[in-house]
Amino acid sequence: MSSEMYMLYGGILLPRETHSSESLEFAQGFSFKDDDVLLVTYPKSGTVWMQEILPLVLNGGDLTSILTIPNWDRVPWLQGKRFAVIVDQLTSPRALVTHFPYNFMPPSLHTSKAKVIYVMRNPKDVMVSSYYFHQMAAFVEDPGTFDEFMDKFLEGRVLFGKWTDHLKSWKQSKLGDRIMYITYEEMFKDLPEGLRNISDFLGRNLSEETIQKITEHCSFNSMKANNMSNFSLLPKTLMDFDKSPFLRKGVAGDWKKHFSSEQLARFTSVIRKELEGESFSLPWSLD
């Protein structure tokens, strides 16, 4: 692990590019408002997609914010360095985002009525997407071979720790009806239906016309063409699009082109073992 690039916090690795001890301290003391909405994802699970969707659901489909404000300021990162700078400029209801496990949340999340949307994605696709991200982003370590990266991923020697630990922490959260679980795959299969569910959960009662408008603007091609969403505003020293685009494919099931049968057997056996005895089941087949 490169200590120049990563810092260790509560046992998990974080990128120094976006986190500091000051930003982590600020997050711990942050006060959630009752109408805040917190988006939670493990990295590469559809975060940027939801950073496009949430503001539109909350503001009734007004496109101004997604066309004029970069996504990292539109739905800012709870523990990130920019959070303290930007959060007070947001109008309520605010959409915020984190990759953190549940046990890292500030006390105010538990005492407020803020709602949480947890987006899950098939861990095999998460790993493939993460592998490509590590090739193009300069502030994370080179992934090595696909096989080497799989070892790191399964052992949690990657940013934000083990996928299974992250999922378990949020599945065991005591948030009751304040948390909604949705999968990348169900949104990919039927985005309008996903939007209706999110809208209902947030009490927004969006019209069918607004749902269709948001669907159109949150398509992969629309987002890829939106400079406020595709990370093209960042310098090449941070992300090298010649190596791989940030918004690479936006599909479900791409893992099938990457895993050998041996790798698949190893991956699924580790994930199964990690989730043994849990009260929830995964929404996808692991094989």
Catalytically annotated residue among 99, 134, 166, 217: 99
Nearest to 26 by CA among 82, 71, 74, 99: 82
Query: Is 99 assigned a catalytic role?
Result: yes
Length, in residues, of the chain: 287
CA–CA gap between residue 199 and residue 54 (Å, rounded): 9
Q: Is 14 helix (H, G, I), strand (E, B) or coil?
A: strand
Residues 6+ apart with CB under 8 A from 77: 18, 83, 96, 97, 98, 99
Tokens of 57: 């659901």
Tokens of 244: 């791989």
Nearest to 251 by CA among 192, 193, 185, 194: 185
Hey, which residues are catalytic here? 99
